[in-house]
Chain A
């Protein structure tokens, strides 16, 4: 029992948290768990059905064969006094052919005959030869001959059930049983023949063989326990009984296997079946001890949806020191964690409610009932591990929302804990309790949050960061700090996808504080640890730039030291190219290269000049129009007005400028607006005195017009790839102008040569 105690909370050192993190990237239930038997001790690990049954059931069922082999090999290792390596035993028992085993047999019988070639260096074969274990090899040969009848050859193959052959093998096996000297080999023959009879559907014969053969041997004891082969045979007897409709006897035997044989525990649980209350009562009557009766309740309480308190009470009454009691306690607490942790602030609580029905309606009452039970158990002092129950009592108080009582209980428990793993678990619970107690927002609370982050257990228990993050997010939201709330959950990259005014302003407020606290300093750093103060000004300025509030944007930009302006990118927004190419390398030339601040300054200057030089303003309007076009989603300098461009948007232009992207909470915003550019280009066209300039403005305006068509409801994509969409009349105003009014210009010829879209229109 003591071992289990250590196991159970040694258990809790927990590199494998139970629940998925609360972060936006996880799937499945999104909650927290701090009572984690992830790294179970050897004892507890064999209780698969009791812990996170639904998750690990498949693993255990899938690995039954592997575990069975491992158990068998382990017994052979003991038999050879550890003279043989497990891998060598595995080879002889599971891999080599009957022919090789027969050669091995001959080799054992003949001093001169060496071991078969493939077993020359096999330690198990050497052991068998050295000790002249002919009967063992005879058994292995017999087992190998049984294999085709009992092991499916593949998922798609039908089991070949050759009953006469199986019956003959049974007879032969019984004879060999009688001749065998050792109980180990006799037990193994018993296993082979009972299994053959079971699989041959000779159920009565299987039971008869069991009842005839087993009393004729003393079941070998290995390391203080009955040989696991005994439970394998028992399992086949139970299977035969079940097939004959003897549910009660079968289930009783399965419960013994569940109790005693870890490698068959999962399958025993699966096979345990009682139809009604009468069968349950009969099964209880079959039990020889309170421990066995407690096992029945443990099996019943292990069902995925059980409310195991009822079974726990029964186990406690029957056998208070029973190990299942604690395992069920852990199971129930884990379920309650899903219901109750972060009820007020888990940012996925609506999702959990919708898809997982959490919290369950009864969780509030149930936690109180379980708490009462834990207290009773602790007070009566009948259980094996009192400190575990004491600790559980404190955690249940915490789950019930009584942080004060939980804190007091934890303080008391601290003095009585001696086990290292339990002490660590207590520290984790205390951290959770501290996080829960954060209910106001001020510098010292944030400082405390920072201190919690620095705790060495913080990164070890994956759900602690989630809990702290979600708790602070809620606190920030309640106290009007959208920026801090955002940063608690998301990265600056997420913000750049679609910068939000209020988030940026809030974070800048923090940045402006003369001495931000440590947690705030963390929030102001990006994923690489760079301070984001200037980047926040850049982001805010860009937001205004997207709205074409040039003066305001520049005024914000002036908060960034001039020398740093280039850090946020340089662009060539005034370059005119007939064909657009987003990913083409730009020729770098400092003459027409601008950073964002310089671009703002230049645009303001162009606006001023356009107004001032009334008679000669076409060129200014043209330059502004070109720049706005180039800085849009469709232009080569899109980075001047945006941080991230998704190619997928091109196929969804009609869905608007903000579209969902990955896990970005506000989606991804693109600068799709080309109306403003079109307006300036139209001004340039109408005011231009030079036909070449007018032609250029008209062509750029036509590009805007074509994009507006793609974004319009009337747009129909071409039926197949690479076809040029035909422009309807409403959207070919500028193409018409270009063809009609500027056909004599040089630029017209240039466009005709280079632009397929226009050529398709002009030559139509």
Chain B
């Protein structure tokens, strides 16, 4: 009887863990999503400390230009001359808006792919010193209207990049896994699961729109059958959501508690909600008396809980875990050990 019980337990255990193979532990990476790429010595040090050898570097976005009636690059990354040749791997990353894709014809879609390739290659060669580029990544929360064009665009990119032996990945949102039969699976090599931005940012009732495990749990479906291998992007960023009379009017990136210690201007209602007492400038934005700021961040503990959940949900550990994102204000809040723990949890 005891033996039977033991066997059943073993069986149950293998049902939970059985899909997970002895894959190598995840490697760490980081996103760079700023407009200028000039890592400070502190950031370089942090990258070294975290053993981060890969940067997902946003080179530019693609948006639709009404006056030109074509998809154009916007927010092109600035790289000062002083930036040294990159020794770390660079994954050129691009954000595409749905409206830029929705407008395109089949021919224009291929043209866009070729133009993007040309511009990005030139940038990599002339401004970033021809770094090691193992992969290219595209970020688009595609809609049904944009899907066909997006997938066609990815196919073209895939074909071109394969000529150089490069792989191609895309960002994947939780809903795109849960409903993948409806939303489709992009024709690429890998997906990067964006495990953040889960809540209704504009809703005054939202506690933390960056990471909410309860919300996330509603999407823990179909990971076992999802056709693409998934890497994982986790949030290290923080921001202040400015609400004016219940309406979100601004996001103040990198805002944290110490920035709001001036009691003549700010009053904490609790640890995350602050009332503006006196009209004032903050980070270049003018706040009016009566405005409310909701501070949002992800604690190391919450990240570790997320890792525990994901270890259960993902059929195998991600090959890459990339933190979003590299910026002076994001890196100082997490110790090496705290981030290491996340990797250990994901390995299990």
Q: Which residues of A contact B (CB under 8 A)?
A: 58, 62, 155-156, 158, 273-277, 279-280, 300, 303-307, 310, 357, 360-362
220-277 of chain B: CB within 8 A of chain A:
244-247, 249-250
How distant is the Cα of A62 from the Cα of B279 in the complex, in angstroms? 33
A277 touches B280 (CB 8 A): yes
B249 touches A276 (CB 8 A): no
The number of A-B residue pairs with CB atoms under 8 Å apart is 53
How distant is the Cα of A429 from the Cα of B118 in the complex, in angstroms? 58
Task: List the A side residues contacting B286 at CB < 8 Å.
Answer: 300, 303, 306
Q: Write the nearest CB–CB distance from A427 to chain B, whole angstroms.
A: 33
Closest to B285 in A: A303
Q: Write the nearest CB–CB distance from B175 to chain A, whole angstroms.
A: 21
How distant is the Cα of A38 from the Cα of B245 in the complex, in angstroms? 28
Closest to A366 in B: B245
- 23 A-B pairs within 8 Å (CB atoms) are namely A155-B70, A155-B73, A156-B73, A156-B115, A156-B119, A158-B119, A158-B122, A273-B284, A275-B281, A275-B284, A276-B281, A276-B282, A276-B283, A277-B280, A300-B286, A304-B249, A305-B247, A305-B249, A306-B286, A307-B288, A310-B279, A357-B247, A362-B245
How distant is the Cα of A362 from the Cα of B280 in the complex, in angstroms? 19
B72 touches A155 (CB 8 A): yes
122-149 of chain B: CB within 8 A of chain A:
122-123
B283 touches A310 (CB 8 A): no
How distant is the Cα of A274 from the Cα of B281 in the complex, in angstroms? 8
Task: List the A side residues contacting B15 at CB < 8 Å.
Answer: none
Q: Write the nearest CB–CB distance from B116 to chain A, whole angstroms.
A: 9
Closest to B80 in A: A201
Q: Write the nearest CB–CB distance from A39 to chain B, whole angstroms.
A: 23
How distant is the Cα of A369 from the Cα of B245 in the complex, in angstroms? 16
Task: List the A side residues contacting B115 at CB < 8 Å.
Answer: 156
Known: A277-B280, A279-B281, A357-B246. A155 touches B65 (CB 8 A): yes
A307 touches B244 (CB 8 A): yes
How distant is the Cα of A685 from the Cα of B286 in the complex, in angstroms? 83
- A273-B284, A276-B284, A280-B281 given; 6 more Cβ-contact pairs under 8 Å: A155-B68, A155-B72, A155-B73, A276-B281, A360-B246, A361-B245
Closest to B71 in A: A155
B21 within 8 A of A: no
Q: Write the nearest CB–CB distance from A31 to chain B, whole angstroms.
A: 16
Closest to B280 in A: A277
From B70, B119, B122, B284, A274 is in contact (CB under 8 Å) with B284
Task: List the B side residues contacting A362 at CB < 8 Å.
Answer: 245, 290
B4 within 8 A of A: no
Task: List the A side residues contacting B247 at CB < 8 Å.
Answer: 305, 357, 360
How distant is the Cα of A58 from the Cα of B64 in the complex, in angstroms? 13
Instruction: Give the size of the chain B interface in residues (CB under 8 angstroms).
Output: 27
Of B67, B68, B283, most A-chain CB atoms within 10 Å: B67
Q: Write the nearest CB–CB distance from B294 to chain A, whole angstroms.
A: 16
Q: Write the nearest CB–CB distance from B210 to chain A, whole angstroms.
A: 22
How distant is the Cα of A310 from the Cα of B276 in the complex, in angstroms? 15
From A58, A277, A307, A357, B281 is in contact (CB under 8 Å) with A277
B48 within 8 A of A: no
How distant is the Cα of A280 from the Cα of B282 in the complex, in angstroms? 11
B246 touches A361 (CB 8 A): yes
Task: List the A side residues contacting B280 at CB < 8 Å.
Answer: 276-277
Q: Write the nearest CB–CB distance from B242 to chain A, whole angstroms.
A: 9
Task: List the B side residues contacting A58 at CB < 8 Å.
Answer: 66
Task: List the B side residues contacting A361 at CB < 8 Å.
Answer: 245-246
How distant is the Cα of A303 from the Cα of B287 in the complex, in angstroms? 11
B245 touches A360 (CB 8 A): yes
A62 touches B72 (CB 8 A): no
Q: Write the nearest CB–CB distance from B88 to chain A, whole angstroms.
A: 23
Q: Write the nearest CB–CB distance from B274 to chain A, whole angstroms.
A: 16
Of B250, B282, B284, most A-chain CB atoms within 10 Å: B284
B288 touches A310 (CB 8 A): yes
A156 touches B244 (CB 8 A): no
Contact pattern, B 90-120, Cβ under 8 Å of A = 1, otherwise 0? 0000000000000000000000000100110
How distant is the Cα of A300 from the Cα of B282 in the complex, in angstroms? 13
How distant is the Cα of A285 from the Cα of B158 in the complex, in angstroms? 57
Task: List the B side residues contacting A300 at CB < 8 Å.
Answer: 286
Of B122, B123, B245, B249, most A-chain CB atoms within 10 Å: B245
Of B65, B68, B279, B281, most A-chain CB atoms within 10 Å: B281
Q: Write the nearest CB–CB distance from A70 to chain B, whole angstroms.
A: 16
Task: List the B side residues contacting A277 at CB < 8 Å.
Answer: 280-281
Q: Write the nearest CB–CB distance from A154 to chain B, whole angstroms.
A: 9
Q: Write the nearest CB–CB distance from A317 to chain B, whole angstroms.
A: 15
Closest to B284 in A: A275
Task: List the B side residues contacting A307 at CB < 8 Å.
Answer: 244, 288
Q: Write the nearest CB–CB distance from A245 to chain B, whole angstroms.
A: 13
How distant is the Cα of A362 from the Cα of B247 in the complex, in angstroms? 11
How distant is the Cα of A279 from the Cα of B286 in the complex, in angstroms? 12
Task: List the B side residues contacting A276 at CB < 8 Å.
Answer: 280-284
Q: Write the nearest CB–CB distance from B241 to chain A, whole angstroms.
A: 13
Task: List the B side residues contacting A274 at CB < 8 Å.
Answer: 281, 284
How distant is the Cα of A303 from the Cα of B291 in the complex, in angstroms? 15
Task: List the B side residues contacting A310 at CB < 8 Å.
Answer: 279, 288
Task: List the B side residues contacting A156 at CB < 8 Å.
Answer: 72-73, 115, 118-119
Of A304, A307, A310, most B-chain CB atoms within 10 Å: A307
Q: Write the nearest CB–CB distance from A62 to chain B, whole angstroms.
A: 5
Task: List the B side residues contacting A280 at CB < 8 Å.
Answer: 281
Closest to B202 in A: A357
Closest to B279 in A: A310
288-332 of chain B: CB within 8 A of chain A:
288, 290
Task: List the A side residues contacting B244 at CB < 8 Å.
Answer: 305, 307
Task: List the A side residues contacting B118 at CB < 8 Å.
Answer: 156
How distant is the Cα of A360 from the Cα of B243 in the complex, in angstroms? 12
Q: Write the nearest CB–CB distance from A350 to chain B, whole angstroms.
A: 16
From B66, B73, B119, B281, A62 is in contact (CB under 8 Å) with B66
How distant is the Cα of A275 from the Cα of B249 in the complex, in angstroms? 17
How distant is the Cα of A279 from the Cα of B122 in the complex, in angstroms? 39
How distant is the Cα of A275 from the Cα of B250 in the complex, in angstroms? 15
Task: List the A side residues contacting B72 at CB < 8 Å.
Answer: 155-156
Of A279, A305, A357, most B-chain CB atoms within 10 Å: A305
Contact pattern, B 170-210, Cβ under 8 Å of A = 1, otherwise 0? 00000000000000000000000000000000000000000
Task: List the A side residues contacting B73 at CB < 8 Å.
Answer: 155-156
How distant is the Cα of A156 from the Cα of B115 in the complex, in angstroms? 7
Q: Write the nearest CB–CB distance from B279 to chain A, whole angstroms.
A: 6
How distant is the Cα of A310 from the Cα of B68 in the complex, in angstroms? 40
Closest to B250 in A: A305
Q: Write the nearest CB–CB distance from A166 to chain B, whole angstroms.
A: 14
Task: List the B side residues contacting A360 at CB < 8 Å.
Answer: 245-247
Task: List the A side residues contacting B122 at CB < 8 Å.
Answer: 158
Q: Write the nearest CB–CB distance from A163 to chain B, whole angstroms.
A: 10
Task: List the B side residues contacting A357 at CB < 8 Å.
Answer: 246-247
Contact pattern, B 50-92, Cβ under 8 Å of A = 1, otherwise 0? 0000000000000001111010110000000000000000000
Q: Write the nearest CB–CB distance from A276 to chain B, whole angstroms.
A: 5
How distant is the Cα of A158 from the Cα of B59 in the complex, in angstroms? 13
Task: List the A side residues contacting B68 at CB < 8 Å.
Answer: 155
A62 touches B245 (CB 8 A): no
Q: Write the nearest CB–CB distance from B258 to chain A, whole angstroms.
A: 15
Task: List the B side residues contacting A273 at CB < 8 Å.
Answer: 284
Of A62, A155, A275, A306, most B-chain CB atoms within 10 Å: A155
Closest to A365 in B: B245
Of A62, A158, A279, most B-chain CB atoms within 10 Å: A158
How distant is the Cα of A280 from the Cα of B279 in the complex, in angstroms? 12
Task: List the A side residues contacting B66 at CB < 8 Å.
Answer: 58, 62
How distant is the Cα of A360 from the Cα of B68 in the complex, in angstroms? 37
How distant is the Cα of A184 from the Cα of B196 in the complex, in angstroms? 57
B283 touches A275 (CB 8 A): yes
How distant is the Cα of A303 from the Cα of B282 in the complex, in angstroms? 15
Task: List the B side residues contacting A305 at CB < 8 Å.
Answer: 244, 247, 249-250
How distant is the Cα of A156 from the Cα of B119 in the complex, in angstroms? 7
